[in-house]
Structure 1
Amino acid sequence: MKREAAAPEAGKPRDPNRPAPGIDVDAATQVVLTSLEDDKAEEIVSIDIRGKSSFADMLVVASGRSARHVGALADHVMRKLKEAGVKDVRVEGMPQADWVLVDAGDVVVHLFRPEVRSFYNIEKIWSGNHTTALPS
């Protein structure tokens, strides 16, 4: 995976209102990316938002082929993050699994069904030249 340069404010102290994740952002991101790749997620994109946002340092966006696949991706990502030592992993959107958000503190994962992803197009909001797309 190609590494992007960190945003200039990456070294600033973390917001005291954000929970400590238990492991660093790069390690947590790698856990997420590996889980998604292993589970055949589609169009995986990671977006470094350090210095752009106070709610996270990294966004990961990916698609599943169906609501069932999206739910399984989210379940596996949550399990792998907890196994890696990330504390307080939260999830929203599981019953319908059209759009599931996994909040791991510094890393936020958005999992979509393809048509829902194209409708919201959140990558366009956050991306610039800090986006890294992984081959599908």
Structure 2
Amino acid sequence: MTPAKLVKTVVAALEEIKAHDIEVLDVTKITTLFDRMIIASGDSTRHTKAIANNVVEKVKAGGGMVYGVEGEQAGEWVLVDLGDMLVHIMQATVRAHYNLEELWAEAKKKKISKATAGAGESKDLLKPLVAKSSTVKPRKASIKSVSPVRKKSPNPGGAS
């Protein structure tokens, strides 16, 4: 399944079960772990579980692979791993608390609706994230010489 078709399939599955505040983030220049992140909100634990289940069913029906689903028991935040795409389905309070959109602020956000779900994707979606970190010198392992352990005789007096 092509990335564009996968995005369309996931967004359609989200909208079918009335997920709201759907955002698609292109994170190809930020991380090599995945290319897209889709974040959507549900109204209750039952709603988020139903949304995630619909995403899984639609992706499998469309010929895509689902690598894993996490958070189904609690239902406050369900993560669907589609390989090159992660789908976060969260309740509004959890979404506001973790604020993934701000964590991935380098990615250009794109509000999705039925009208824009099929639109072409922009080529210049991101500026690369450059982390300036200080160079850390590896510590040398210190090897201490250890004397061999001497076995004590069971009878310290030497008498048998």
**Mapped contact 2:59–2:66 kept (Cα < 8 A):** no
- CA separation in 2, counterparts of 1:116 and 1:135? 22
Q: Does 1:41 align with 2:35?
A: no
SS of aligned partner of 1:50: coil
Aligned Cα RMSD in Å?
Answer: 1.5
Normalised to the residue count of structure 1, the TM-score between the two structures is: 0.79
Residue identity over aligned pairs, in percent, reads: 33
Q: Does 1:108 align with 2:86?
A: yes
**Mapped contact 1:82–1:89 kept (Cα < 8 A):** no
Count of matched residue positions in the alignment of Structure 1 and Structure 2: 114
- CA separation in 1, counterparts of 2:95 and 2:15? 18
Aligned equivalent of 1:80: 58
Q: For 2:101, which of 119, 123, 126 is the aligned residue?
A: 123
- CA separation in 1, counterparts of 2:18 and 2:66? 25
SS of aligned partner of 2:34: coil
Q: For 1:57, which of 25, 30, 35 is the aligned residue?
A: 35
Structure ranking higher on relative contact order (CA contacts 8 Å, 6+ apart): 1
Q: Which has the larger radius of gyration?
A: 2
Amino acid at match of 2:49: G
**Mapped contact 1:78–1:89 kept (Cα < 8 A):** no
**Mapped contact 2:68–2:80 kept (Cα < 8 A):** yes
Q: Give the deviation of 1:51 after TM superposition.
A: 2.0
**Mapped contact 2:66–2:80 kept (Cα < 8 A):** no
Aligned equivalent of 1:27: 5
Structure 1 or 2: larger helix share? 1
Amino acid at match of 2:30: K
SS of aligned partner of 1:71: helix
Amino acid at match of 2:58: K
Mind listing any 5+ residue stretches in structure 1 that lack a counterpart?
Answer: 1-22
Distance 1:115 1:30, change over 3 A: same
Amino acid at match of 1:99: W
Mean Cα deviation higher: 123-132 or 105-114:
123-132
